[in-house]
Amino acid sequence: MTLYLRDDFAAAWSGSDPFERVERLEGEVFRELEARRTLRFELGGRSFFAKIHRGIGWWEIVENLLRGRLPVLGAENEWRAIERLKALGVDTMTAVAYGKRGLNPARQHSFIVTEDLVNTISLEDFCRDWPQQPPTVALKRALIERVAWISRQLHQNGVNHRDYYICHFLLDISAGVEALTAQTIKLSLIDLHRAQIRRKTPQRWIEKDLSGLYFSAMEIGLTRRDYLRFIRTYRQTSLRQALAEQGPLWRRLQRKADKLMARLKRKGDKIR
């Protein structure tokens, strides 16, 4: 068994089984499945998120392996990803409780509790009206460069997200949207339960992240110059060199994103 409780949770759950306490939590439920539950709750006047995993079963494990994917067995994945991002200087959630027990991977019981990132807004929502109400040039540049820097930090250090969309970047607006400047922006990357950590990120997973990111930003009014700014910051080189060395990659990512958007339009859905 593995268990971590921050002091406030150790005190609040003292004398009880943390696995039982987390199962009895009540609050706003965001996802309720047989094998997973996600909810927001309060403790000591503060807001937290809990993700509870109850084992995915052998069938899902085998199915993922047959498709060449490592299955997500429980909360350990997100716990490790949070620690990795913090080590890389990437803002993310703060874990306050984590537990895992059970040797059978198909029936493993685990949970993770994180602080609620209050006073934030997703980039998807923040940028939604940009086509009609553009931000200042300086703020847009700063956000693009920050997302590019985060992307580079992940991919250059063996991490890929697997659900890499702008809705999973939370922008701190605690001082008010009007007070946002290029110098004060803080972006936190969330929803890390499917993230993968290796010594080196495989190229196909880098492309999956980048094409997903591009796809999710296609309707917020970005210009060709904005995309080129992202490429230059992501590559940390001159734009001429970046395009000369990886021109086919960026064109391939654009085609993938265009196909995703076309398929979405046919189905009448929206970018999540």
User: Could you give the residue numbers annotated as active site?
Assistant: 163
CB 94 within 8 A of CB 198: no
Nearest to 89 by CA among 28, 6, 150, 164: 150
Nearest alpha carbon to residue 90 among 8, 164, 29: 164
Amino acid at 252: R
Residue tagged 């429980």 (tokens): 74
CA distance 190 to 159: 14
User: What is the rounded CA–CA span in Å between residue 193 and residue 80?
Assistant: 9
Q: What is the DSSP letter of 119?
A: S
Distance CA 72, CA 81 (A): 12
Report which secondary-structure segment, H or E, holds 153: helix 137-156
